[in-house]
Structure formats: structure tokens, C-alpha cells
Amino acid sequence: MTHIYSWQNKQRQMIWNSISANYIPSAILLSGERGIGLTDFAIYIAKIVSCSKVKNSSPCDDCRECNSFNSGINHDLLLLGGDDEPISILDVREMINKIYYTPTSGNYRFVVIDCIEQLNSSSMNALLKTLEEPSKHVIFILISYHRTLMPATIKSRVKEIYFPTPPPSEVKKFLMERGLTENIVNIYSYIAKYRPLEAIELYKDKKMEKFEQFIEMFLSAVVNNRQLLKSSDIKSYDTLEWLDFLELILSDIVRLHMHILDSASRNKKYFDTISKLKSILNIEKILVSLGRISELYFTNKILNIKSNKQIMIDDITIRLLYKTN
């Protein structure tokens, strides 16, 4: 089956218009957040281009080409990346060697590079050379989750399709259609920052229980004015998770200050906790801490420079809880 989501209809129409006009770009860049279905959309492009019996701008899911994609054995689809491991120059060279083979069934071979930012500079250069001399039977589909990190030389050679994060109402509808209750949907769409597929993953991982434990621990540290959280408090959270959870709580306190957080959007117990934290924590310090969290997130997640967890947490909690008078 082709997973195209309701929030991707506009982009689907763009691709379909292009195909109908007999113009298929040799390199397409899909950009947006993780967890909104960009990998699925890349496969959709390969399928719609290859399908021999397209119906209403959708692949038929019945022909030989569609079946080969659905069963994961399409020999004209080359997938690179998709996890957090860097893509090596050897991976890129191997891929480049393969693209010059003649397509086994349709007219094209497809190269999907999931998270183009994982390419180091020599891999990026090798890719650039290939993009500069496009082969008429190869379509590159690059996926970027941090488009500002992409070299301008690559960007100038691709047709970019941007995917905004879907509106909260659409995310909630998507999750409720999968049988989740309203209460669960509210909190998971928030924890996932309104990325629907991420929300489903977090739900499967029972992330809410961990988040609730985190809030309890954090509230207790704030109420007892423990300027530094102890290492026993934090050992069950990894660095990015700790940053994520704290950012969610602090952002909600800011929303409460701005009168744009209502109790209906969160469960009652959580809303009460946020209200309590709002009465204790200083808003200026919260804003400074949120800025610091963004910086740490960037160095740890994007630049992959790992902070010492305890020092990082001390650094933020000092900013947040240190009393100046």
C-alpha cells in the first residue's frame, strides 16, 4: 500500500501535475520535520512514476511495478540512510556505481537518500558530481530534515518540495482515527510536537509514562529548591530525551503566561502541575533556559557533539533555579 497522508495532498498534486505534464525532475528534495511521512512520500513518487495503471493520481497497487515496491523487492529502488548513522563515502560510491545499470522494469531507477545531512563532505561532493551529470533514467529523491545545513551547490540542483508540519487539528484527527482516546491524543500530539507518525512511535514506546515521571521529578526538584538535579534523578533519561521533556514543560509554562494554554488541551493533573510551576519559576529565566536548550539540542543532535549529561543538566538548572536575591 502507498502511505500518503491527508496533510500531503498539496505536495501529491504538485508531483502529479509534473508527471501529467511529462516533466519529471531528475533530482527532488523533500524537506520538513521527521515523523511526518517524508520517506513514505519518496516511495510514493517512485511508485507513481513506475505504475503502469495509475488511477485518480494514485498508484494502482495492483500492477507488477506496484507489487514489487509493496513487497520491498523493487530492484530499481536504491535506499540510502534512514537511521542516525553517517552515510559513508563507500556507501555513496557503491550507490553511484549501481545507478548506471539499465532499469530492470520501468523507465527509471530511483535513489532515495533519507537524511541527506548524514553525508559527510566527501560523500556530498561525490553526490554533487553525479547530480551535475544527470542520467536520463535516474531520479534522485533526497530527504532533508535540516534544510539549512544543505550545501547551496546541492540545493541549486534539486527541485524542492517543502512539507510543513500538519496543523494540530489534523494531527489529532489522524490519531483519533487510529483508536486513541482524546486525552491520550492531546498529550501525545504535544509530546511529538505535532508530528503524527512520531506521536504513534512515542505511543508504542509508552513515552507518556516516562514524561509523567519526569514532570514529578522536576516538580519536586523545583519545590524543594534543589538547584542541581542529582544524577540518580536523571539516569533513566538520555540526553536528548531530557532536553525534549524539559523544553515541553517550559514551553507550556510560557503558553500559560501568554494565556494560550487551556486546561482542555492537556490532562487535568498535568495542567495543575504546569500552573504550580508557573507560580514558582521566573519567566525571564525560563526564556533564557529555553534558548540554552535549543543550543544544546543543536550541538548534541545536529552536530553530534555529545555533552556530558550531568554538566549539561547542571548548566540549565542553574540558569533556571538560581536565586539572585
Binding-site ranges for Zn ion (CB under 5 A): 51, 59-60, 63, 66
Q: Which is nearer to Zn ion, 67 or 220 (CB)?
A: 67
CA dihedral angle for residue 25, residue 81, residue 172, residue 279, rounded to 10 degrees: -120
Minimum gap (Å) between residue 155 Cβ and Zn ion: 32
How far apart are CB 140 and Zn ion at their closest, in Å?
22
Instruction: For residue 83, give the nearest of 109, 117, 111, 110 by alpha carbon.
Output: 117
Q: State the nearest-atom distance from the C-beta of 102 to Zn ion, in Å.
A: 21
| CA 182 – CA 173 distance, rounded (Å) | 10
Question: Is the CB of 59 or the CB of 166 nearer to Zn ion?
Answer: 59
Classified as helix, coil or strand, 204 is helix
Identify which of residues 63 and 248 has a Cβ nearer to Zn ion in the complex: 63
Give the residue with the Cβ less far from Zn ion, 66 or 127. 66
CB of 50 to Zn ion, least distance (A): 7
Name which of 63 and 128 has its Cβ closer to Zn ion. Answer: 63
In contact, 159 and 25? CB cutoff 8 Å: yes
Beta-carbon count within 10 A of 18 CB? 17
Segment (H or E) for 91: helix 89-99
Which CB, 66 or 243, lies closer to Zn ion? 66
Q: Please state at what angle helix 268-280 crosses helix 239-257, rounded to 10 degrees.
A: 80
CB of residue 19 vs Zn ion: minimum separation in angstroms? 13
Classify residue 185 by its DSSP letter.
H
Cβ(96)–Cβ(126) under 8 Å?
A: yes
Shortest CB 4 distance to Zn ion, Å = 14
Task: Judge contact between 19 and 56, C-beta under 8 A.
Answer: no
